[in-house]
Amino acid sequence: MSTVDATAPRTPTSTGRLANVDWFRWIVLAMSLGILLVFIVYPLGSVLALSLAERGTPFSWSAVTFENFRQLWTSRLFRGAILNSLTLTAWVVVISTTIGVTYAYFLTRVRLPLNHTLMMTLGTIPLLMPPFVGAYSWVLLFGRSGSITQIVNELFGVSLPTIYGMTGMVVAISATMWPFVFLLAYGALALSDPSLEESAEVMGASPLRRLFTITVPLVTPAVLTGSLVVFMRAIGEFGTPAILGGNQYVIPTLIYFRISGYGDFNMASAMALVSVGLSVLCLLFLALYLRRRDYMTVTSRVQASKRSASRVLGIVGAVVCILIVFVSLLPHMTVVLGAFSERWRGTLLPTEYGFSNFIRVFDRDQTAIRNSILLTLVATVVATVVGTLLAYISAKRKSRAGIIIDITVMLPFILPGIVVGVAMAAAFSAGPLVMTGTGLILVVAYFVRRMPYNFRAGTSSLQALDKSMEEASSVCGATWGQTSSRVTLPLIMPGVIAGAVLTFISLIGELSATIILFSGRWKTISVSIYEYLISHQTGPAFALGTLLIFLVFAAVFLVNRFLGVAITTLFRGR
Amino acid sequence: MAIGLEARSLTKRFGQGPEGVTAVNDVSFEIEEGELFSLLGESGCGKTTILRMIAGLEKVTSGTILFSGQDYTHVPPNRRELGMVFQSYALYPHMSVFENVAYGLRIRGTNKTDVTEKVRRALDIVDLPPDTFSQRRPSELSGGQQQRIALARALVYDPRLLLFDEPLSNLDAKLRVYMREEIRKVQQRAGITAIYVTHDQEEALAISDRVAVMFEGVIEQIGTPVEVYDRPASAIVADFIGKANLFSATLTSKTGTGAVARTAAGDVVHGFVNEEAPPSGDDVTVMIRPERLTLRLRDDDAATAANGSTNSLDATIRSLSYLGSRTRYGVETAGGTSLTVDSVRYLERATPGAAVRLSFPAQDTLFLRRQELQP
């Protein structure tokens, strides 16, 4: 019997030359180029143009001046801010890396008398709140009349150093950022080929020698990647220095005060450019360093690494880990506690509890709450759809189109939020596209800031996808559209949604771009919190902070519930 | 029988310019309907590339692919009406077993009752009771069961051609032998034309109607399993399939296909010239399979002299390894040629250093074109 019936009309459909042209590729390439030009190149160009114009004037070719840069060069305030930014970032990177690696080491290599999953989760939670929300907690705890300051003073007669300034900023930012290093280091430390360390042991290497010749070199790339993430976030952090900086400015706060205090977009633009240049320089330096050390292990036999069963090490590890988690979550606890307190002055715990803070913010900040949720949702959906689509195209086409998309998408990584804010304001307050004062400009800024992350989420899901899944579908007779919708999309969906949730989490409390772009009509929760905090109204600020924490936890709970994505895997590689 | 598939001068180059690699070089073959045709070769020989070009998953650099006489070279894979079983099975983890098998039917817009009917039949053919397996997820099944689902999915919409890309390489040795027999059974039951890519020569011999032996992008020989084993077209084929004694000699006389050759050291052997791939001059490579050599101790030998139908050579045992079902001897002839002998019988006194006599039929001795092999 033959299955091929000779009479059956099985003629190949001949496709004409025109039908073979891949229109879709060109459309998406054009779209990607459009996004690059309109939302990144044009805004950055506008920043450059404004920086070359005299204060208070728009750019014109006849009046190009380097006056702004000359002033920056001679300004002691600005040079101080650069120095502060670098000092702050350096300290935060060093401390976050130390804490992150320590925490990861104890969790992976020592048998701790603690619940592993719980410690993993607790080690991720600091990431779930924007740093500036918790920043004020440090004032409440360690400020001049802070609870802990008073207690320490009464008990030991010692007065603690002031929390305002460099110390406070370093502590507050490090406490929220070390999990980035932890999660990456954890991945490298937990999964490695034990025979590498065992072979060194057989060859006679001492434990310490093994640690420094085998283990450390192998996890270094992952740790440095984590440090890089911390670096980029710390150098762009606006909220914490604005609240805890006191009279110490860093670049983002200086840019902000230049705009809010003087309305001087020209000088702010010049500062933004110098700031971007500085980040790019540091990034290149780190990337070069990373590249030289980026090697892969020549084995696929990856498995869980062995853990030390030493009791002493276990107890020391448990104490250190609990201490780390406790200190990092202090701001979160303070925020929630403060939100529900009616009276809290100089005591360890509030003396009176109630809901008046919440009642107040639900009454006064209704629009802000609504705006935040609406803007974040819209930006998340747009960033996810576009990011995934671009990831799909760039994964399919390893061509010049792919490179253009990669550059488009990676560029915002090096732009601090405040610079994105300045660029949007510079580009869209005049000229062909006026968006200032609308919610749209916030959506665009959010999109530019976060789409790269959705792109990466899509890319890594696609890379993990077995190519033959799509090929099998195609051989089965499915068209490109059928394969995409029935096979590819459902298979990458969990990764894409996890990316979307992460975007939602990081945008719901976005402050550094928002602070430049918000308007009376389009205020957000983060702006409200910021305004409450600088006027020392902690109650309502903490109530809104608690609301943020709640929204973030709800999002994490939903993905965990419906996709089985653990909170710890959500942030890996970010 | 009608020709189901024809490949004419298929060529595939990866990359361009001097850095490009020719993966498949001017390959032509025909496959009859209902035939199981294997592409056999080491990894990187181009066999998978040929299969992927037939599937339409790889663009053809030059050459033509015809299905039932019609040019399909540039038709996209989804319009070729093929079934394919992938090395990784490529089962969809987000679908049940039923939905996996039904996939091709759903794409074709088959109506619901037909889908159920056909999926059940396909699952029956691959010996998976539909009632037990339909609603499970592929991840809950064993490797062998996943293999069967992949096969059912490829069969269910009656493709014109079934393609197998090393389908058994992820299974353990015992299951591999069992599954290859199953695949052969299903293929014959469905009467479907199949192309089977493998690097396992035993697998190819066991299930194929014909085998194409590939080497560095070129087909060295196409033939039935018996032909490629007993009448290899070249030393490369002889060396790749099974074990072969290969040594150089010079033809001294020739009558028809029968011939006599002499090694440089003076060993004289009678044999045959492979008519399909005759040696170009008098320089030949002699091929004789280890199990076709008979080994006797010289002192209890009844002195069988060499004649036209049987070769006889004096030799000394140099090494032996006892393999259970047979004993493998390394011997050296009086003329200094090293040979491997597989003997079913284990001889007590045949130890290294023992003088032996080798005899082997001239009809099993093949003279091939002189070819230097890489060790």
Q: A42 vs B375, which has greater pLDDT?
A: A42
Contact A4 B193 (CB under 8 A): yes
Contact B2 A2 (CB under 8 A): yes
In angstroms, the CA B308 to CA B304 distance is 12
Domains A78-353 and A355-574 share a fold: yes
In angstroms, the CA B55 to CA A471 distance is 9
For chain B, residues with pLDDT lower than 50 are none
In angstroms, the CA B350 to CA A351 distance is 100
Residue written as token pair 């353990």: B172
The mean predicted confidence, pLDDT, of chain A is 83
Choose the CATH number for A355-574 among 3.40.50.2300, 3.40.50.300, 1.10.3720.10, 1.10.10.10. 1.10.3720.10
In angstroms, the CA B246 to CA A542 distance is 86
Nearest to A4 by CA among B34, B315, B294: B34
The per-residue DSSP string of B291-306 comes to GG-EEEEGGG------
In angstroms, the CA B237 to CA A135 distance is 75
Q: What does the DSSP 8-state code read for residue B46?
A: S
Contact A474 B77 (CB under 8 A): yes
Query: Residues 127-146, chain B: which have Cβ within 8 Å of A?
Result: none
For A488, which residue in chain B has the nearest alpha carbon?
B92
Pick from A4, A13, A491: which is nearest to B79 by CB? A13
Instruction: State mean pLDDT over A391-396.
Output: 78
For B53, which residue in chain A has the nearest alpha carbon?
A475
- pLDDT, tens digit, 9 for 90 and up, residues A151-190: 777 787 777 677 788 988 999 999 999 999 998 888 888 7
Contact A491 B94 (CB under 8 A): yes
Residue type (1 letter), A467? K
Alpha-carbon torsion, ordered B136, B139, B144, B150, to 10 deg: 80
3-state secondary structure of B186: helix
CB < 8 Å to B69, chain A: none
Contacts for B59 with CB less than 8 Å, ≥ 6 apart: B53
The per-residue DSSP string of A407-432 comes to HHHHGGGGS-HHHHHHHHHHHHSSSS
CB < 8 Å to A1, chain B: 34, 191
Instruction: Tell me what pLDDT residue B222 has.
Output: 95
pLDDT at A7 over 50: no
pLDDT at A408 over 50: yes
In angstroms, the CA B66 to CA B161 distance is 12
Helix (H) or strand (E) segment spanning residue A200 = helix A194-202
* A477 near B CB under 8 A: yes
Instruction: Tell me what pLDDT residue A293 has.
Output: 58
- pLDDT, tens digit, 9 for 90 and up, residues A503-554: 998 899 999 999 999 988 899 999 999 999 888 888 899 999 999 999 998 8
Residue type (1 letter), A402? G
Contact B107 A478 (CB under 8 A): yes
Contact B55 A475 (CB under 8 A): yes
- CA distances A470 to A392, B78, B93, Å, are 13, 11, 13
* A478 near B CB under 8 A: yes
**Tokens of residue A223, six digits:** 């740790």
Tallying the residues shown for chain A, one arrives at: 574
* A342 near B CB under 8 A: no
Contact A12 B75 (CB under 8 A): yes
In angstroms, the CA A67 to CA A54 distance is 7
Instruction: Tell me what pLDDT residue B253 has.
Output: 85
**Tokens of residue B85, six digits:** 């079983």
- pLDDT, tens digit, 9 for 90 and up, residues A356-376: 889 998 989 999 999 999 999
A291 band by pLDDT with thresholds 50, 70 and 90: low
The ranges assigned to domains in chain A are: 78-353, 355-574
Instruction: Tell me what pLDDT residue A6 has.
Output: 39
How many interchain CB pairs under 8 A, A with B?
100
Instruction: Tell me what pLDDT residue A471 has.
Output: 92
Fold of B236-298+308-369: OB fold (Dihydrolipoamide Acetyltransferase, E2P) (2.40.50)
Instruction: Tell me what pLDDT residue A393 has.
Output: 78
3-state secondary structure of A351: coil
Residue written as token pair 């066991």: B206
* A468 near B CB under 8 A: yes
In angstroms, the CA A270 to CA A75 distance is 13
State residue B177 phi and psi, 5-degree precision. Answer: -65, -40
Query: Residues 190-219, chain B: which have Cβ within 8 Å of A?
Result: 190-193
A192 band by pLDDT with thresholds 50, 70 and 90: low
Contact A468 B87 (CB under 8 A): yes
Nearest-CA distance B77 → chain A (Å): 5
**Residue B119: alpha-carbon gap to chain centroid:** 32
Instruction: Tell me what pLDDT residue B374 has.
Output: 60
CB < 8 Å to A476, chain B: 78, 83, 103-104, 107, 153-154, 157
* A62 near B CB under 8 A: no
A571 band by pLDDT with thresholds 50, 70 and 90: low
Q: With contact defined as beta carbons under 8 Å apart, do B249 and B263 qualify?
A: yes
Pick from A1, A12, A466: which is nearest to B191 by CB? A1
Contact B90 A2 (CB under 8 A): no
* B55 near A CB under 8 A: yes
Q: A270 vs A285, which has greater pLDDT?
A: A270
Instruction: Tell me what pLDDT residue A75 has.
Output: 87
Which percentage of chain A shows pLDDT scores above 90?
Answer: 27
Instruction: State mean pLDDT over A92-117.
Output: 91
Nearest to A90 by CA among A291, A300, A235: A235
Q: A436 vs B222, which has greater pLDDT?
A: B222
Instruction: Tell me what pLDDT residue B302 has.
Output: 56
Instruction: Tell me what pLDDT residue A224 has.
Output: 83
Q: Identify the residue among A474, A480, A492, A493 best suited for mutation to test binding to B, counting B beta carbons within 10 A and taking the highest.
A: A474
Judged by average pLDDT, the poorest of A101-115, A193-207, A237-251 is A193-207
- pLDDT, tens digit, 9 for 90 and up, residues A209-229: 877 777 777 788 788 888 888
For B33, which residue in chain A has the nearest alpha carbon?
A2
The ranges assigned to domains in chain B are: 3-235, 236-298+308-369
3-state secondary structure of B76: coil
Instruction: Tell me what pLDDT residue B18 has.
Output: 80
Q: Helix A251-262 to helix A76-109 angle, to the nearest 10 degrees?
A: 140
CB < 8 Å to A15, chain B: 74-76
pTM (predicted TM-score): 0.79
Instruction: Tell me what pLDDT residue B35 has.
Output: 95
State residue A353 phi and psi, 5-degree precision. Answer: -115, 155
Nearest-CA distance A563 → chain B (Å): 13
- pLDDT, tens digit, 9 for 90 and up, residues A118-141: 898 898 888 888 888 888 888 888
Instruction: Tell me what pLDDT residue A568 has.
Output: 66
* A155 near B CB under 8 A: no
Nearest-CA distance A554 → chain B (Å): 26
Query: Residues 355-374, chain B: which have Cβ within 8 Å of A?
Result: none
Instruction: State mean pLDDT over A14-32.
Output: 60
- Expressed in angstroms, the distance from the first to the final Cα of chain B is 41
Instruction: Tell me what pLDDT residue B223 has.
Output: 95
B247-273: burial string, b at 16+ Cβ within 10 Å, e else: bbbebeeeeeebbbbebeeebebbbbb
Judged by average pLDDT, the poorest of A313-322, A404-413, B261-270 is A404-413
Fold of B3-235: Rossmann fold (3.40.50)
In angstroms, the CA A435 to CA A215 distance is 52
Instruction: State mean pLDDT over A37-54.
Output: 88
**Tokens of residue A466, six digits:** 């077995």
pLDDT at A297 over 60: no
Instruction: Tell me what pLDDT residue A84 has.
Output: 93
CB < 8 Å to B65, chain A: none
Q: With contact defined as beta carbons under 8 Å apart, do B126 and B178 qualify?
A: no
For A4, which residue in chain B has the nearest alpha carbon?
B160
CB < 8 Å to A474, chain B: 56-57, 76-78
CATH number attached to the domain at A78-353: 1.10.3720.10
* B160 near A CB under 8 A: yes
CB < 8 Å to A496, chain B: none
* A298 near B CB under 8 A: no
Contact A491 B92 (CB under 8 A): yes
Instruction: Tell me what pLDDT residue A12 has.
Output: 43
Contact A473 B4 (CB under 8 A): no
Pick from B84, B94, B159: which is nearest to A472 by CB? B84
Helix (H) or strand (E) segment spanning residue B54 = helix B47-55
Pick from A1, A479, A486: which is nearest to B78 by CB? A479
* B158 near A CB under 8 A: yes
- pLDDT, tens digit, 9 for 90 and up, residues A452-508: 888 888 888 888 888 899 999 999 999 888 898 899 999 988 888 888 988 998 899
Contacts for B173 with CB less than 8 Å, ≥ 6 apart: none
